[in-house]
Amino acid sequence: MEVKIKKLVYGGKGLGKINGKTCFVPFVLPEETVEVEIVKEKKSFVECDLVSVIEPSPYRIDPPCKYFKYCGGCDYQHIPYEKQVDIKKEILEETLSRIGKIENLKIDKVIPSMEPFRYRNRTQLKIYGEKVGFYKRDSKEIVNIDTCLLLKEDLDKGINGVRNTLPFLTFQPVEAHLYSSNQDEMLVKFIYPRRIKRFPLGLKHLRQFISKNVKGVGIYRRKPDGYTERLFTIGNIFAFEKVEDITYRVSIDSFFQVNRFQVSNLINEVKGFFKDKKYKTIIDLYCGVGTLTLPVAEFSENVIGIESNPYAIQDANHNRKLNNIKNASFIRMESRDAVSIIEEKRPEAIIVDPPRTGLSKKIIEKINSTPSIEKVVYVSCNPSTLARDINLFKEGNFKLKSVSMIDMFPQTYHIESIILLER
Ligand SMILES: C[S@@+](CC[C@H](N)C(=O)[O-])C[C@H]1O[C@@H](n2cnc3c(N)ncnc32)[C@H](O)[C@@H]1O
């Protein structure tokens, strides 16, 4: 079946029509004519596989990775990086205009990643039998890989390193997670399907097998609910990141921004929104280890970070002391309970950096009904939930003042943006 691709949509696929019905096709470019095979038929759309490209776009390139299309990690390796960024910008514009109902929307700034490959400081490898790699697209089957072009060099070497440890392990782990900070300190997590009492290899062996950068290892059990439980650790489970004048401790179970070339750009963008005056109180919701909280402290008398992960809060408190930032404090709390803190502290500004699900209605309503809040800086990794939330902020008289797109995830469909809302 032949399809002409109109445009790419959020999720990485191209959109076309088959007999008047919308269809989605992966690994294509706008204006291409392609041959497809229907794999799933729904009421209002069909999902297709790409069979061949009949009329290629002039932008089409050969994907550099031999696993592209088999491995589910990348969506856009057939597109030159500059074009990927243009496409993401169009998708962001379209999503915010359509779902966020914003007229005459314009993206004020686009910040591409300095490097479109080797940017990731973190990876989660799946293990089954002798296979080590990532899941195939829409499947639980593992693509056995020996390299991933998105990974920082020491992590990339670590793929084979993990594979080489397997014959020496008494029980087989199901996943190995590697994280390597910008100071080249690597933390490794082995996830088991059940409780184990001891791990047969010491740090010395793991450094020989995986990387000389390994500093600490955590052994975990995957619980039936899907979450992991830390069983025990080996070595030092803290790594450090240095971003301009701030040093962050990031423990093995804390989040840190994944694109090592974009962390300082993200921080500087957020800081830029607070340079206009001295604030009394800023609240940073979903603060992680204080990545954004600590840099904005210089613009406020007080800054309060809120975060649910207890390890991240321990790191954030450590980082506050490590950097001698006395006007920052951190509270371990679920974001839904932060309404009480907003009520009590009456901040002038809020930073939010939620997971893909975006903000709860309850939090937005609280921000809307708190007159002291003049400004919301929203860091989003999902344009759809961002657009939904912008709509809700309108009820509090917030207006969209600026939109920046920061490409955190080159070669993938993911879109990160930073928006400013003001009353
Ligand atoms: C996208 S990260 C952002 C972290 C931080 N702003 C940064 O730049 O590193 C989201 C953070 O939200 C936290 N989080 C997830 N769900 C949460 C919830 N319901 N309440 C509070 N924090 C939550 C995660 O632990 C994670 O640290």
| 335 alpha carbon – ligand 1 mean position (Å) | 9
Longest pairwise C-alpha distance within the chain: 65
Stretch 129-136: mean pLDDT, rounded? 94
Q: pLDDT by residue (tens digit) across 384-417?
A: 999 999 999 999 999 999 999 999 999 999 999 9
**Percent share of the chain, pLDDT over 70:** 100
124 HSE (CA, 13 A, CB side): 9
Q: How confident is the model at residue 138 (pLDDT cuts 50, 70, 90)?
A: confident
Stretch 126-146: mean pLDDT, rounded? 93
Q: Is 291 in the pocket of ligand 1 (CB under 6 A)?
A: yes
173 HSE (CA, 13 A, CB side): 28
Q: pLDDT by residue (tens digit) across 2-60?
A: 999 999 999 999 999 999 999 999 999 999 999 999 999 999 999 999 999 999 999 99
Reported pTM: 0.96
Please tell me the predicted confidence (pLDDT) of residue 340: 95
Angle between helices 383-393 and 361-368 in degrees, nearest 10: 40
| 286 alpha carbon – ligand 1 mean position (Å) | 4
Q: How confident is the model at residue 100 (pLDDT cuts 50, 70, 90)?
A: confident
Q: Would the pLDDT of 156 be above 90?
A: yes
Query: Do the domains at 98-113+259-422 and 122-240 have one common CATH topology?
Result: no
To the nearest whole number, what is the mean pLDDT of the chain? Answer: 96
Residue entry with tokens 């693509």: 143
Hey, whose CA ends up nearest to atom 15 of ligand 1? 355
Residue entry with tokens 């450090």: 240
Task: Calculate the CA dihedral of residues 59, 62, 64, 67 and round it to 10 degrees.
Answer: 120
| 75 alpha carbon – ligand 1 mean position (Å) | 25
| 362 alpha carbon – ligand 1 mean position (Å) | 17
Domain boundaries 122-240, corresponding CATH code: 2.40.50.1070
Please tell me the predicted confidence (pLDDT) of residue 103: 86
| 308 alpha carbon – ligand 1 mean position (Å) | 7
Stretch 250-279: mean pLDDT, rounded? 97
Domain boundaries 98-113+259-422, corresponding CATH code: 3.40.50.150
Q: Which of 286, 319, 351 best tests ligand 1's pocket when mutated (most atoms within 8 Å of CB)?
A: 286
Tell me the CATH number of domain 2-60, given options 3.40.640.10, 2.30.42.10, 2.40.50.140, 3.60.15.10.
Answer: 2.40.50.140
Residue entry with tokens 């001891």: 198
Catalytic residues: 381
* Phi then psi dihedrals of residue 2, to 5 deg: -100, 140
Q: Is 257 in the pocket of ligand 1 (CB under 6 A)?
A: yes
Q: Would the pLDDT of 232 be above 90?
A: yes
Q: Is 378 in the pocket of ligand 1 (CB under 6 A)?
A: no
Q: pLDDT by residue (tens digit) across 167-200?
A: 999 899 999 999 999 999 999 999 999 999 999 9
| 406 alpha carbon – ligand 1 mean position (Å) | 18
Q: Is 355 in the pocket of ligand 1 (CB under 6 A)?
A: yes
d(CA 354, CA 229): 23
Q: Is 335 in the pocket of ligand 1 (CB under 6 A)?
A: yes
Q: pLDDT by residue (tens digit) across 302-323?
A: 999 999 999 999 999 999 999 9
The closest-lying atom of ligand 1 relative to the alpha carbon of residue 289 is 9
254 HSE (CA, 13 A, CB side): 30
Lookup: tokens for 109: 């700034």
Q: Is 288 in the pocket of ligand 1 (CB under 6 A)?
A: yes
Cβ neighbours of 131 (radius 10 Å): 15
Domain ranges of the chain: 2-60, 98-113+259-422, 122-240
Residue 144 burial (C-beta neighbours within 10 Å; 0-12, 13-18, 19+): middle
Q: Would the pLDDT of 251 be above 90?
A: yes
Judge contact between 206 and 215, C-beta under 8 A.
Answer: no
Instruction: Return the HEC string of the chain.
Output: CEEECCEECCCCCEEEEECCEEEEECCCCCCCEEEEEEEEECCCEEEEEEEEEEECCCCCCCCCCCCECCECCCCCCCCCHHHHHHHHHHHHHHHHHHCCCCCCCCCCEEECCCCCCCCECEEEEEEECCEEEEEECCCCCEEECCCCCCECHHHHHHHHHHHHHHHHCCCCCCEEEEEECCCCCEEEEEEECCCCCCCCCCHHHHHHHCCCCEEEEEEEEECCCCCEEEEEEEECCEEEEEECCEEEEEECCCCCCCECCCHHHHHHHHHHCCCCCCEEEEEEECCCCCCCHHHHHHHEEEEEEEECCHHHHHHHHHHHHHCCCCCEEEEECCHHHHHHHHHHHCCCEEEECCCCCCCCHHHHHHHHCCCCCCEEEEEECCHHHHHHHHHHHHHHCCEEEEEEEECCCCCCCCCCEEEEEEC
Q: Is 286 in the pocket of ligand 1 (CB under 6 A)?
A: yes
Q: How confident is the model at residue 104 (pLDDT cuts 50, 70, 90)?
A: confident
Q: Is 241 in the pocket of ligand 1 (CB under 6 A)?
A: no
Q: Which of 260, 284, 307 best tests ligand 1's pocket when mutated (most atoms within 8 Å of CB)?
A: 307
d(CA 55, CA 299): 54
Q: Is 309 in the pocket of ligand 1 (CB under 6 A)?
A: yes
For residue 276, give every residue at least 6 positions away whose Cβ sits within 8 Å of its Cβ, in sequence order, or none. Answer: none
Q: Is 292 in the pocket of ligand 1 (CB under 6 A)?
A: yes
| 274 alpha carbon – ligand 1 mean position (Å) | 21
The closest-lying atom of ligand 1 relative to the alpha carbon of residue 334 is 20
Task: Calculate the CA dihedral of residues 378, 383, 388, 394 and round it to 10 degrees.
Answer: 50
Please tell me the predicted confidence (pLDDT) of residue 137: 85
d(CA 366, CA 218): 39
